[in-house]
């Protein structure tokens, strides 16, 4: 019996599973072969209503809640992390922040485009000297007549090289910093002084890229401020709580697929006259993986239900993100081991999953940051 | 024009079917169930007729246990306008389903009824034909192409020798073959919209239909395990065996 966030979502999962298995999976293999994302991916996701699925219906979004969005992340993660990034770029941190904190004009300008897939967004927080310690950021915003002038550098920003609008966090009051001195700006591609200066590939899939953004005397009108001046840090932190549950569900989806693949492989591969699945060494690996996944899923779904009930789940979201990201790392490691040589070669998805899941322990708050937050709450 | 489509809840085509320990049937507890793939094709055809402005309303019907509601919800998400569940805990055989559908047809008066040519669980391939006979309507089975005109339909059928094109008078029964169309994927927004569409539940008694099984299943067994083959020394021995033992050449 499949555990569900709510009983109603069983039907949604069935639809997602069918679509992912039959339509997305062949494209995932093509991404692996070419290192590029086929153009039809965006069209396919738009046609099926996945782009902007969490944005408000009034602006052309799908109007879906966080659990449904997380379920889509989970099912897409069974195929390829790249697909989850399309959801993130149109329904993730930045889009949701615009929908929540944006002015009417900003919503009209961006939310519609994000919902129909013509625009993509990115979230620019991390800097060369400000990662987990994001309050140490050096990007500055100076007030000028009719607007602001920004200077600084952001890096490791997922998808920023293809983003049409990037949320840039900058310090407008160095004395206050995280306590009201950081502001969020919406910066459009092509704004003078705003440039993509490097694109990095990572340990993960070659198609997934991080960008460096250089901001050099970039003038922005007052209308580019998201929310209130000085509210930026709060916007970033609130966005991150939901993001952590999204990451948790992505980990759950990948672990689920890897266990399924491992069990199937173990049943078919015969060594010394016996299927691998008959060997206790393999059975124990599978049993550990399945147990850890079940626990991760139960607590993450419970936390999603609490979010929907309006509870504050800051610490619980950190626990989910910490446990799920470390869990999928162990599951992926065992999956490679069970698959043996086949787990190492390119062209079969196990090695790519193994590389892609490493991101989850680092991105959107590293394991260490999550532990710090959990301990801080415990010891307060 | 009103179109009626029947949809059956069956064991998903991906599931490895297992026989129950007591040999009374196939294990369905804790098994993934889905809409019969031929019925998906039937529904897709109806939705395309609606999109083309030919059909005005699509009614999906399912006969069986309460869980068939899930199958009907899927049908509503694909594009049916409303759904009818004829709820029964009995084992519903093709004749019983045909009688139930006949009663629904008399109530709803559709111009066209589209059914899958068979369900992938019992592979009976009977319900559509029986329904046509009971109603006295024209039928076109194993359709690979359907073209609607005013009072009639031109249907291309897949027959043993190739393709056969026939013209049938409406109201009519059409059963679908695999190559009629490629069903669409259910989208999440449509799943949500489907929740607001009406789903009516009826009982066989209220339709005045006796659904008692007319056939009794004696025993269900797994197919026999394939026996090991033999090795032959040379081509001459192979030809010898093919000619005299297998008698195929």
Note down pLDDT in tens along chain A; length 380 residues.
578 888 889 889 999 999 999 999 999 999 999 999 999 999 999 989 999 999 999 998 999 999 999 999 999 999 999 999 999 989 888 899 999 999 999 999 999 999 888 899 999 999 998 888 888 899 999 999 999 999 999 999 999 999 999 999 999 999 988 889 999 999 999 999 999 999 999 999 999 999 999 999 999 999 999 999 999 988 888 777 788 999 999 999 999 999 999 999 999 999 999 999 999 999 999 999 999 999 999 999 999 999 999 998 989 999 999 999 999 999 999 999 999 999 999 989 999 999 999 999 998 889 999 999 999 999 99
Alpha helices in chain B (DSSP H): 37-51, 68-78, 94-108, 127-135, 188-194, 235-244
B73 contact A CB<8A? yes
Say how far apart CA A270 and CA B1 lie, in whole Å: 59
A311 catalytic residue (yes or no): no
Q: How many CB atoms lie within 10 A of CB B43?
A: 29
Name every chain B residue with its beta carbon within 8 A of the beta carbon of A11.
Answer: 70, 73-74, 77, 191
Q: Do B188 and A18 touch (CB under 8 A)?
A: no
A12: nearest CB among B70, B185, B191: B191
Domains observed in chain A: 7-92 (1.10.540.10), 121-230 (2.40.110.10), 239-378 (1.20.140.10)
Q: Is B74 on the interface with A (CB under 8 A)?
A: yes
Through-space distance between the first and last CA atoms of chain B, rounded to whole angstroms: 56
Residue of B nearest to A68 (CA): B188
Residue of A74, A212, A351, A364 marked catalytic: A364
Q: Which residues of A touch B190 (CB under 8 A)?
A: 49
DSSP state of A201: E
Among B30, B73, B187, whose Cβ lies nearest the Cβ of A11? B73
Hunting for tokens 């680092």 — which residue is that?
Answer: A362
pTM above 0.95, yes or no: no
Question: Contacts of residue B9 in chain A, CB cutoff 8 Å?
Answer: none
The whole-angstrom distance between A2's CA and the closest CA on chain B is 10
Task: Please give the average per-residue pLDDT across B27-49, as a whole number.
Answer: 95
Q: Which A residues in the span 4-63 are in contact with B, Cβ-Cβ below 8 Å?
A: 11-12, 14-16, 18-19, 22-23, 47-50, 53, 62
Of residues B70, B73, B189, nearest to A49 (C-beta): B189
> Cβ–Cβ of A12/B189 closer than 8 Å?
no
Backbone φ and ψ for B152, nearest 5 degrees, come out as -145, 175
| Helix A314-339 and helix A280-308, axial crossing angle in degrees, nearest 10 | 160
- Chain A touched by B70 (CB under 8 Å): yes
Residues of A in contact with B75 (CB under 8 A): none
Q: Which whole number is the average pLDDT over B172-188?
A: 95
pLDDT value of residue A178: 81
Q: Are A263 and A277 spatial neighbours (Cβ–Cβ below 8 Å)?
A: yes
pLDDT mean over B160-187: 95
Is A267 touching B (CB cutoff 8 A)? no
CB-closest option in A1, A18, A53 to B188: A53
The CA distances from residue A180 to A102, A177, A221, A234, B236, in Å, are: 18, 6, 20, 8, 92
pLDDT (0 to 100) of residue A94: 87
Q: What is the CA radius of gyration of chain A?
A: 21
Per-residue pLDDT at A1: 56
The dihedral sign for the CA sequence A190, A159, A149, A232: positive
> Cβ neighbours of residue A223 under 8 Å, at least 6 residues apart?
A103, A105, A106
Searching chain B, which residue's CA lies closest to the CA of residue A63? B189
Is the complex ipTM more than 0.90?
no
């Amino acid at each position: 019996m499949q555990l569900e966030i709510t009983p109603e979502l069983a039907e949604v999962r069935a639809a997602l599973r069918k679509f992912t298995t039959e339509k997305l999976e062949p494209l995932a293999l093509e991404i692996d072969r070419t290192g590029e994302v086929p153009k039809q991916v965006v069209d396919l996701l738009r046609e099926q209503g996945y782009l902007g699925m969490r944005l408000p219906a009034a602006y052309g979004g799908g109007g879906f809640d966080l659990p449904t969005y997380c379920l889509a992340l989970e099912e897409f993660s069974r195929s390829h992390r790249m697909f989850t990034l399309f959801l993130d770029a149109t329904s993730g941190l930045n889009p949701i922040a615009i929908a929540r904190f944006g002015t009417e004009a900003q919503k009209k300008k961006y939310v519609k485009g994000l919902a129909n897939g013509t625009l993509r967004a990115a979230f620019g927080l991390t800097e060369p000297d400000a990662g987990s310690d994001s309050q140490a950021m050096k990007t500055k915003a100076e007030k000028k007549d009719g607007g602001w002038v920004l200077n600084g550098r952001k890096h490791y920003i997922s998808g920023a090289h293809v983003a049409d609008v990037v949320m840039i966090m900058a310090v407008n009051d160095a004395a206050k910093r995280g306590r009201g001195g950081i502001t969020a700006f919406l910066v459009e591609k092509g704004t003078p002084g705003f440039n993509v200066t490097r694109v990095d590939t990572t340990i993960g899939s070659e198609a997934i890229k991080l960008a460096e953004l250089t901001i050099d005397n970039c003038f922005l009108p007052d209308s580019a401020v998201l929310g209130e001046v000085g509210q930026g840090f709060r916007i970033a932190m609130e966005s991150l709580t939901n993001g952590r549950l999204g990451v948790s569900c992505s980990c759950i989806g990948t672990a689920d697929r890897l266990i399924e693949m491992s069990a199937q492989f173990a049943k078919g591969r015969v060594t010394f006259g016996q299927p691998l699945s008959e060997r206790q060494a393999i059975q124990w690996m599978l049993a550990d993986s399945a147990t850890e996944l079940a626990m991760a899923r139960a607590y993450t779904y419970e936390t999603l239900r609490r979010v929907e009930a309006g509870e504050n789940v800051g610490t619980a979201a950190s626990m989910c993100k910490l446990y799920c990201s470390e869990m999928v790392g162990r599951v992926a490691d065992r999956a490679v081991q069970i698959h043996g040589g086949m787990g190492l070669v390119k062209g079969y998805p196990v090695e790519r999953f193994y590389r892609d899941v490493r991101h989850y322990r680092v991105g959107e708050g590293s394991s260490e940051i999550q532990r710090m937050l959990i301990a801080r709450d415990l010891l307060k | 024009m009103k179109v009626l489509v029947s949809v059956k809840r069956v064991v998903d085509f991906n599931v490895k079917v297992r026989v129950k320990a007591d040999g009374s049937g196939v294990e369905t507890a804790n098994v993934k169930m889905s809409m019969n793939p031929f019925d998906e094709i039937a529904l897709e055809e109806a939705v395309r007729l609606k999109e083309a402005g030919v059909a005005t309303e699509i009614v999906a019907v399912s006969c069986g246990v309460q869980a068939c509601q899930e199958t009907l919800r899927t049908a509503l998400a694909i594009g049916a306008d409303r759904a009818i569940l004829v709820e029964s805990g009995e084992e519903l055989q093709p004749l019983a389903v045909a009688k139930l559908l006949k009663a629904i047809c008399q109530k709803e008066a559709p111009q066209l009824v589209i059914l899958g040519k068979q369900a992938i669980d019992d592979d009976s391939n009977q319900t559509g034909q029986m329904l046509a006979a009971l109603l006295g309507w024209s039928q076109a089975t194993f359709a690979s192409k359907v073209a609607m005109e005013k009072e009639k339909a031109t249907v291309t059928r897949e027959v043993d020798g190739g393709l056969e094109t026939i013209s049938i008078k409406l109201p009519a029964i059409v059963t679908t073959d695999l190559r009629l169309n490629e069903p669409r994927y259910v989208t999440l927004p449509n799943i949500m919209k489907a929740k607001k569409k009406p789903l009516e539940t009826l009982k066989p008694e209220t339709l005045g239909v006796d659904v008692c099984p007319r056939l009794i299943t004696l025993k269900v067994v797994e197919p026999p395990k394939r026996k090991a083959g033999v090795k032959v020394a040379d081509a001459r021995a192979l030809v010898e065996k093919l000619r005299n033992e297998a008698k195929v050449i």
